[in-house]
Structure 1
Amino acid sequence: MELEQLKHYFPHRVIKRRVRKVAVKRVRKDLILHSKSEEDLSEEELEYLLADAEASVWGDIKQTGIIGVLAMLGLSI
């Protein structure tokens, strides 16, 4: 298959949007738990928190994927 045909089967934009939504929810939850609002922080601080949350979401996805593969192979950690 050509590279362009493969791009059709792996929708990067959709996955990135969903990861971003989950990260935004995590940041908002953390702000609520720390009794802060989005207006209390600068745009740069919010972007930093969001980037950190996105990295956390990607890490969770990778960890879940590895555990799933190990479970399919009948292995456990």
Structure 2
Amino acid sequence: MELDKLSRYFPNRVIRRRIRMAAVRRVRKDLILHGKNEAELSEDDLEYLLADAEKDVIADIKQTGLLGTLALLGLSLF
């Protein structure tokens, strides 16, 4: 029984949830900047926008991690 309770705290799920939340914030911000409303878009369009935003969030995380690692090693890309 305790295993079921702990399964929702696996790092994999937590990370995915955080990435999804960041993607939702990005999509909402972009919709506001473009003068659109979530109700104006279909569910498929919103899912497409979220998937694209998730890819961007993951790319940002990778880039930040790479730059942090290079900084620790004392290297620079520029």
Same fold (TM over 0.5): yes
Segments of 4+ moved more than 2 angstroms: none
Distance 1:32 1:11 in 2: 32
TM-score (norm 2): 0.85
Q: Give the 5 Å matches for 1:1-20.
A: 11-20=11-20
How far 1:53 sits from its partner (Å)? 0.1
Question: How many pairs were matched up?
Answer: 68
Q: Secondary structure of 1:60's match? A: helix
How far 1:56 sits from its partner (Å)? 0.1
Cα deviations by residue, 1:2-60 (Å, 9 ceiling, x for unpaired): xxxxxxxx710001000000000000000000000001000000000000000000000
Q: Secondary structure of 1:75's match? A: coil
TM-score (norm 1): 0.86
1:75 equivalent in structure 2: 75
RMSD in angstroms over aligned alpha carbons? 0.9
Q: Secondary structure of 1:70's match? A: helix
1:42 equivalent in structure 2: 42
Distance 1:43 1:19 in 2: 19
1:52 equivalent in structure 2: 52
1:5 equivalent in structure 2: none
